């Protein structure tokens, strides 16, 4: 885990969150350190898994119109690991977590339409051994999708 008290790494991350295509030269000018230092820090951030540069696609613009959160109950619990192994493979799942409360697993999915979502549930999730019950909540309209605010993480470490 990165030490967010390392001000240089923190500044690099903040700039790349705003523009993942920002050049090392632009970053070095912005925070007034050598390009070689930025390159070295960037490589370290990528290698330790702190940073991954991706192109974020707006799913609505390319035909994904059915978003949902699927809460999955597992019985018996000994099937949890196997179910996670199978769910991780599904390209429709954008977020997958072990949860507390009434359900064991939360899977956020992006599907083309309701037919696609129904097929996913019926042929890929409900058929997994140990899946006892599911509850699906549709996202009617997404108001915000964002990366974590680094300021919040930095504040918690002071």
Q: List pLDDT tens digits, range 29-46.
A: 999 999 999 999 999 999
Torsions phi, psi for 97 (to 5 deg): -150, 150
Per residue in 97-112, pLDDT (tens digit) is 999 999 999 999 999 9
d(CA 119, CA 116): 5
Q: Reduce the DSSP state of residue 97 to 3 states and report it.
A: strand
Number of neighbouring beta carbons within 10 Å of residue 89: 9
Q: Tell me which long-range contacts 49-52 makes (C-beta under 8 A, separation of at least 24).
A: 50/1, 50/2, 50/9, 50/13, 51/13, 51/16
Per residue in 98-152, pLDDT (tens digit) is 999 999 999 999 999 999 999 999 999 999 999 999 999 999 988 888 878 888 8
Residue 1 has pLDDT above 70, yes or no: no
Q: Please report, in angstroms and rounded to a whole number, the separation of the first and last CA atoms in the chain.
A: 16
The mean pLDDT of 83-88, rounded to a whole number, is: 98
Q: Which domains does the chain have, with CATH numbers?
A: 7-55 (1.10.10.10), 59-139 (3.30.70.920)
d(CA 141, CA 88): 25
């Amino acid at each position: 885990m990165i030490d967010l008290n390392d001000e240089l790494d923190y500044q690099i991350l903040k700039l790349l969150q705003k523009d993942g295509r920002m050049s090392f030269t632009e970053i070095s000018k912005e925070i007034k350190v050598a390009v070689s230092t930025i390159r070295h820090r960037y490589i370290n951030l990528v290698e330790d898994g702190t940073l991954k540069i991706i192109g974020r696609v707006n799913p609505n613009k390319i035909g994904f119109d059915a978003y949902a959160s699927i809460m999955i109950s597992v019985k018996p619990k000994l099937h949890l690991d196997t179910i996670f192994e199978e769910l991780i493979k599904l390209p429709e799942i954008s977020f997958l977590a072990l949860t507390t409360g009434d359900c064991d697993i939360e899977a956020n999915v992006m599907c083309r339409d309701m037919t696609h979502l129904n097929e996913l549930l019926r042929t890929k999730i409900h058929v997994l051994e140990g899946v006892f019950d599911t509850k699906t909540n549709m996202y009617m309209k997404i108001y915000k999708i964002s990366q974590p605010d680094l300021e919040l993480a930095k504040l918690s470490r002071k």
